[in-house]
Structure 1
Amino acid sequence: MTTHAKNASAEKTDVISLLTDDHKKVKKMFKDFEKMKGSGSDDELSALVEDICSELNLHAEAEEAIFYPAVREEITDINLVDEAEVEHAELKELVSQLQSMSADDPKYKATVKVLGEYVDHHVKEEEGEIFPRVKKAKMDTEALGEEIANFKQMHGQPAPSARPARPSAGTGARKH
């Protein structure tokens, strides 16, 4: 295997890379929502929000089952993990609210916006505070990444290399 191939392989299973990719994907979905909310149909908006909620739920479940317990064992500032778990609870509450609303609800778009703001805050803290401590603790980020990838695959998301390309928002072709 070439050095480049090893690096590409490592990027796919490193837990920090996987979680950062999830963050980027969801942030893009929120940006797509912002672009669509003035011109997209309720069905298109609803489908995109359904995708956002699914991504957030799967990401949170994987972090709570695998990443946070491992981090809690290795870093000294466990308050960071406690805060992240509290943030997850708040995010899940907003996701639950959205899943029970219809796209024509007067507060639907505002709830999506607030969820996006919560996600931005959570991502900044995770990437700015937790990830650097994980790197400093010299945790086995490859093994954790493999566990996360396997968890996500078992719970409905294909491995990164097996994921088909999806059309961009606004094409009306967004389906799971």
Structure 2
Amino acid sequence: MNSIKNTVTNTLSPTITNMIRMDHTHVLEAFHQYEIDSSPQTKKALVNTACLALEFHSQLEEEIFYPVMRTLATDTATVDKSIPEHNEMRRLIGELRAMEPTDPRYDQTFMQLMRDVMHHVADEETTLLPDAERLLSDRLGELGAQMTKRRLQLAAPRAREIAVNTIRGFPTSSMLFAAGALIAGTYFAKRTFEGQSRHRRT
């Protein structure tokens, strides 16, 4: 029974490490779209998109990914320093939310957030994610499904905000990509949980 359940989960849901990489790509895309001479409305939409994605991402890692890695990894240095890095990101996000895009400090604060995030992403993608794929090989799909379910819970109350920011901040091609990714993620999550429910009943 457990092997069937794991097969369904692994097939229909992104692995937790791939999901983390997709989060990184999404945030870096928002960074890439940000330009100093963009309109205040576009700047604010891109900053809001990046900040909300980082908040979801940090919470998901702290609730699901880091605790598992802390129990299994022999070297937890990268995990241990990630929490203070998340807290520094939250501090900068708080500053950005308290400013208007016309504030002279707005660009500088967002650039600092970009630098911090890119350093954090580099550490995770070169060290932590490869370690996770080695240590959690048989649980990556299960943890990915768990993260997908929790992500949908976090995003549901903010769905309108996410949509408005995407429309205002991204060009059409990126909007279509983001919409497709969201639809695909929702579909895979739904199929995963339906599959698990059917197997639990049998």
1:114 to 107, 112, 115: 112
Once the two structures are TM-superposed, the CA of residue 138 in structure 1 deviates from its matched residue by: 3.1
One-letter amino acid of the structure 2 residue matched with residue 57 of structure 1: E
User: What are the within-5 Å matches in structure 2 for residues 46-65 of structure 1?
Assistant: 46-65=44-63
Name the residue aligned to 1:153: 152
- How far apart are the structure 2 equivalents of 1:56 and 1:41? 23
1:138 to 119, 136, 139: 136
- Unaligned segments of structure 2, at least 5 residues: 1-6, 176-202
- Unaligned segments of structure 1, at least 5 residues: 1-5
One-letter amino acid of the structure 1 residue matched with residue 34 of structure 2: F
Which of the two has higher C-alpha Rg?
Answer: 2
Greater percentage in helix? 2
Judging changes above 3 Å, is the alpha-carbon distance between structure 1 residues 157 and 142 closer, same or farther for their aligned structure 2 residues?
farther
Q: How many residues align?
A: 157
Is the Cα contact below 8 Å between 1:46 and 1:103 reproduced in 2?
yes
Secondary structure of the corresponding residue to residue 61 of structure 2: helix
One-letter amino acid of the structure 1 residue matched with residue 141 of structure 2: E
- How far apart are the structure 2 equivalents of 1:72 and 1:111? 31
Is the Cα contact below 8 Å between 1:12 and 1:18 reproduced in 2?
no
TM-score where L is the length of structure 1: 0.81
Alpha-carbon displacement from aligned partner over 1:8-33 (angstroms, at most 9, x marks no partner): x7484201110100100100100001
Alpha-carbon displacement from aligned partner over 1:137-172 (angstroms, at most 9, x marks no partner): 1341111111111111001159xxxx99x557257x
One-letter amino acid of the structure 2 residue matched with residue 110 of structure 1: Q
Judging changes above 3 Å, is the alpha-carbon distance between structure 1 residues 45 and 152 closer, same or farther for their aligned structure 2 residues?
same
One-letter amino acid of the structure 2 residue matched with residue 136 of structure 1: R
Once the two structures are TM-superposed, the CA of residue 122 in structure 1 deviates from its matched residue by: 0.3
User: What are the within-5 Å matches in structure 2 for residues 61-140 of structure 1?
Assistant: 61-139=59-137, 140=139
Is the Cα contact below 8 Å between 1:11 and 1:17 reproduced in 2?
no
Secondary structure of the corresponding residue to residue 106 of structure 1: coil
Judging changes above 3 Å, is the alpha-carbon distance between structure 1 residues 83 and 169 closer, same or farther for their aligned structure 2 residues?
same
Judging changes above 3 Å, is the alpha-carbon distance between structure 1 residues 99 and 10 closer, same or farther for their aligned structure 2 residues?
farther
- The answer to which of 50-59 and 138-147 deviates more is 138-147
TM-score where L is the length of structure 2: 0.71
